[in-house]
Amino acid sequence: MENLLVAENIYKQFGNFTALNNVSIAIPRGSIFGLLGPNGAGKTTLLRIINQITMPDKGQVYLDGKPLQPNDIAHIGYLPEERGLYKSMKVGEQALYLARLKGLSKAEAKERLEYWFKKLQIEGWWDKKIQELSKGMAQKIQFIITVLHRPKLLIFDEPFSGFDPVNAGLIKNEILQLKEEGATILFSTHRMESVEELCDYMALIHLSNKLLDGKVSEIKREYKSNTYEVGLETENDTALLAELKEKFVVGNTNFKSINDDLKLTIQLKEGETPNQLLNYLLAKAKINHFVEVIPSVNDIFIKTVTQHA
Amino acid sequence: MRNLKLIIQREYLARVRNKTFIIMTFLSPLILVGMFALIAYLSMLNSSEQRIIGLYDETEMFASEFKDQEQVQYLDLSGKSFKEAKQMVNEQDYYGLIYIPKNINRDLQGVQFFGKESPGLGTIQAIEKTIADRLTREELIERGIDVNQLNEAKTEVRIEIQNFSGERTSKMSNYIKMFFGGAAGYLLMMFIIIYGNMVMRSVIEEKTNRIIEIIVSSVKPIQLMMGKVLGTSLAGITQFTIWVLLAGVLAMTSFYVLGIDIFTVQKSQLETVEQIAQPEIAQLVMDVLNLPILKLIIFFLIYFIGGYFLYSSIYAAIGAAVDSETDTQQFMFPVILPLMLGIYVGFFSVIENPHGTVSTIFSMVPLTSPIVMLMRIPFGVPWWELAISVALLIITNFIVIWIAAKIYRVGILMYGKKASYKELFKWLKY
């Protein structure tokens, strides 16, 4: 079975508002899957449906090829966007409680908690109350609770929102390590750089519809526009610019450089190759910089979303 | 089931370990006892005050009638002029001055009371009665009626009430029934309000803490809701048990101090009852023993559970629908209203006529039936009425819990949205 989780034709309506309109995603085993979308796109609703918190009106979710069962919650770890803990309960006690709700035995839960407390260097917190801890500290506990029962599928809703940079880095490393240990990870975010960094696959949801999904590298390839960024050193910038503008679609750009270059983006027509462009430029100027413009996830996101606005 | 147990356990411990809970459990009996003591002390203080009332009697008939009592002393000022008497009362800070004019007639017209402040009702009635009694006697003598004969002819009637199955009751026993029924109904209402609020607050707490979504990714919302309701009710039962035990200890101590041997009383209740000389007290003890105690206990439990579940699931739904306790106001009124209605119907209508139309209807309507029926049961309610009432209560419980669970399920995941009734209605269809 290649995909760990498949959501098929999910449809969900709240009153007159359609939250999800025929959305399907497939998450390959062992991958990190990024669910993107502006606020209110329906990401959280989809995650809640996968967690069986909300039931879809239509559609079916499969885990390991089988329709999702109530006791599959033991195989899923969920860190919601709106997350918190009991303020007046002791850290250890509520971690035990939440772990046992996931099906762990008391002894098992205790042993694993001790391991994680040690790993994140928070051994002394067991008897503290949450109200004595800072927000960042509480987030560590929430993370531990999410992964404690060693789920096959980990779901993080906006995992980095609210984390300070140190904790965010820590969590990022833990996520990568969990992936190495074989977990499949689904997370939703509107922070594009984390998708760029972490995700193998992504899907974009906008206004309740899925606009885009697939391997991140493939999507990028699809979205690239045969554009190159060049830095040229010439005697006469204006003459060259005029000449280039006749032949290509030329735009201005900026990049870091120690030379006093003419910085341009040059979009080639279909069928033209970068070698042809290089050949052409070789005769005209000294080429200090030549790089293919690969669209960032951010660019893709903005482009797709504005197209469908 | 395993999760439900875990939730009940957590909710119970969270309630019981709460400092306010612990303090209230041990403090409120003390506060209650203290309040009674204070009230008793104050009323003692009030009545131990000595009052002097001046009497200015132009007829000179009544001076011997106004006899000094423990708290009131009468002072005959008829010898002085009226002006002097008035002045004296004022200067000496007496309670007041009674003025009886010469030509007093049967309707007491012309009698006046002068005082710095208006006198208590009791004082006035006592004065009126004293004067009226004397005048009545005069009148009787004038008409040639022998007062002694008249007194002898007076009889005292005590109607004995008996139902068809032969149980005897008396007016006294009606009071006892009222007391037991009223206490049960009132207790139930207090329990619902106190612990229903606890359920609601705990739901709001989970929402504001944002832990709710973490929990519902592990358990079904209905499980969480029921666990909360059950755990909180167990905490409530714990509190009541402690109170009963404390009351028992207090009672035992006071019996011991007062020298009443409770164990011999229990051993041979009936014997003791017969031994008690005064028939009224014997009757009272008999009346208490004659109450359908077992029936009362069984139905107290049934209505207690039914009523508590009904209301606390509504409380849970309200908690889920709001973001903070201040937003609950608009939803609280419809919850408190039937409870209050139940209590008022109970205390007015049931006591007046335990089997009248109003009482019967309200003891059937599920939102008020737990309270009103509990008040009616000591007066004897036919089995079929009980059956209908309980059946309606159970059916309503299912419906209300179903609706509450739906609202709860949607509400706990709604943040920052102020819910209206319209909104809640829409949630039912989500």
- B10 found inside a domain: no
Q: Are residues B137 and B178 in the same domain?
A: no
Residue B300 phi, psi dihedral angles, 5° rounding = -60, -45
Q: Are residues B138 and B202 in the same domain?
A: no
CB contact under 8 Å between B218 and A98, yes or no, is yes
Contact at CB, A78 and B413, closer than 8 angstroms: no
Chain A residue at shortest CA distance from B415 = A82
Q: Does B413 touch chain A (CB under 8 A)?
A: yes
Q: Which of A174, A193, A221 is the last residue of a domain?
A: A221
Q: What integer pLDDT is reported at residue B268 of this predicted model?
A: 46
Do A163 and A177 lie in one domain? The reply is: yes
Tokens of B94: 């007496």
Would you say residue A303 lies in a domain?
A: no
Tell me whether residues A76 and B217 touch, CB distance under 8 A. Answer: yes
Residue among A79, A83, A101 minimizing CB distance to B218: A101
Asked whether residue B291 is domain-assigned, the answer is yes
Is the domain of B294 the same as that of B352?
yes
Residue A181, domain member (yes or no)? yes
Closest among B212, B214, B246 to B25, alpha carbons compared: B246
B154 touches chain A (CB under 8 A): no
Chain A residue numbers touching B19 (CB-CB < 8 A): none
CB contact under 8 A, A80 and B213: yes
- DSSP secondary structure string for all residues of chain A: --EEEEEEEEEEEETTEEEEEEEEEEEETT-EEEEE--TTSSHHHHHHHHTTSS--SEEEEEETTEE--GGGGGGEEEE-SS----TTSBHHHHHHHHHHHTT--HHHHHHHHHHHHHHTT-GGGTT-BGGGS-HHHHHHHHHHHHHTT--SEEEEESTTTT--HHHHHHHHHHHHHHHHTT-EEEEEES-HHHHHHH-SEEEEEETTEEEEEEEHHHHHHHH--SEEEEEEE-S-HHHHHHHHHHHSEEEE-----SS--EEEEEEPPTT--HHHHHHHHHTTSEEEEEEE-PPPHHHHHHHHHHHT-
Nearest to B217 among A78, A88, A97 (CB): A78
**In total, how many domains does chain B have?**
2
* A80 chain-B contacts, CB cut-off 8 A: 210, 213-214, 217
pLDDT of residue B47: 63
Tell which residue, A85, A86, A93, A87, has the closest CA to residue A126: A93
B196-209: per-residue pLDDT in tens? 999 999 999 998 88
What's the CA gap between A7 and B389, in Å, rounded?
48
Q: Examine the domain organization and report whether A288 and A161 are in the same domain.
A: no
Give chain B positions within 8 Å (CB) of A88. Answer: 14, 18
Domain carrying residue B124: 50-147
Q: Quick check: A62 and A6 in contact, CB under 8 A?
A: yes
Spans of chain A, pLDDT less than 50: none
ipTM of the complex model = 0.81
Question: Nearest CA of chain B to the CA of A142: how many Å?
Answer: 9
Domain shared by B257 and B404, yes or no: yes
**A167 and A276 together in one domain:** no
Which of A73, A85, A145 has the CB atom closest to B209's CB atom? A85
Domain span at A286: 225-293
Cβ pairs bridging A and B (under 8 Å): 63
- Closest-CA residue of A relative to B18 is A88
Domain with residue A257: its CATH number is: 3.30.70
- Quick check: B216 contacting A, CB < 8 Å? yes
- Across the interface, whether the CB atoms of A82 and B219 are under 8 A apart is answered no
Whether A272 and A233 map to the same domain: the answer is yes
- Say which CATH number the domain at A175 has: 3.40.50.300
Q: Using CA atoms, how far apart are residues B351 and B355, in angstroms rounded to an integer?
A: 9
Total domains in chain A come to: 2
A71 and A159 together in one domain: yes
Kindly state whether residues A69 and A12 are assigned to the same domain. Answer: yes
Q: What angle (nearest 5°) sits at the alpha carbon of residue B298, between those of residues B294 and B301?
A: 140
- Rounded CA-CA distance B259/A179 in Å is 78
Are residue A52 and residue A168 in the same domain, yes or no?
yes
- Alpha-carbon distance B325 to B336, whole Å? 16
B430 close to B403: Cβ distance less than 8 angstroms:
no
Q: Would residue A93 count as lying in a domain? A: no
| CB-CB contact of A89 with B14 (8 Å) | yes
Would B252 be classed as within a structural domain?
Answer: yes
**Beta-ladder partners of B99:** B56, B112
B200 and B82 part of one domain: no
Among A170, A194, A221, the domain boundary falls at: A221
Which residues of A have a CB under 8 Å from any CB of B? 14-15, 48, 51-54, 70, 73, 76, 78-80, 82-89, 97-98, 100-102, 142, 145
Phi, psi of A56, deg, nearest 5: -75, 150
Residuewise pLDDT in 10s, chain B (430 residues): 788 999 999 999 999 998 888 998 888 878 877 888 888 788 777 666 677 888 888 877 777 778 777 777 888 887 788 788 888 888 887 888 888 887 776 666 778 888 877 777 778 888 888 888 888 888 888 888 887 887 888 776 766 666 665 555 556 677 778 888 888 888 889 889 989 999 999 999 998 888 998 998 889 899 999 999 999 999 988 988 888 888 788 777 776 766 555 444 444 444 444 454 456 666 666 666 777 778 888 888 899 889 999 999 999 999 999 888 888 888 888 889 999 999 998 888 887 888 888 889 999 999 999 999 988 888 888 889 999 999 999 999 999 999 999 999 888 888 777 778 888 888 887 7
Q: Which of B213, B407, B409 to mutate to test the interface with A (most CBs of A within 10 A)?
A: B213
Cβ–Cβ below 8 Å for B213 and A53 = yes
The overall longest dimension of chain B from CA atoms, in Å, is 95
On whether both B197 and B293 belong to a single domain, the answer is: yes
pLDDT on residue B224:
92
Is B76 a member of any domain?
A: yes
Contact check, Cβ <8 Å, B209/A89: no
Considering CB atoms only, which of B205, B217, B429 is closest to A51? B217
Task: Tell if the CB–CB gap between B218 and A73 is shorter than 8 Å.
Answer: yes
- Asked, for residue A106, whether it belongs to a domain, the answer is no
Q: Domain holding B98: CATH number?
A: 3.40.190.10
A286 in a structural domain: yes
Residues A177 and A263 in one domain: no
Radius of gyration of chain A (CA): 24
Chain A residues touching residue B429 (CB < 8 angstroms): 15
Tell me which residue in B14, B210, B218 faces A82 most closely, judged by beta carbons.
B210
- In this structure, the answer to whether residues A65 and A184 fall within a common structural domain is yes
Please report how many Cα atoms fall inside a 13 Å half-sphere around the Cα of residue B187, on the Cβ side: 19
Based on the fold, state whether residues A73 and A165 are members of the same structural domain: yes
Contacts 24+ apart (CB under 8 A), A193-198: A193/A297, A193/A298, A194/A34, A194/A160, A195/A34, A195/A36, A195/A297, A196/A296, A196/A297, A196/A298, A197/A172, A198/A32, A198/A34, A198/A172
Residue with tokens 């973001």: B323
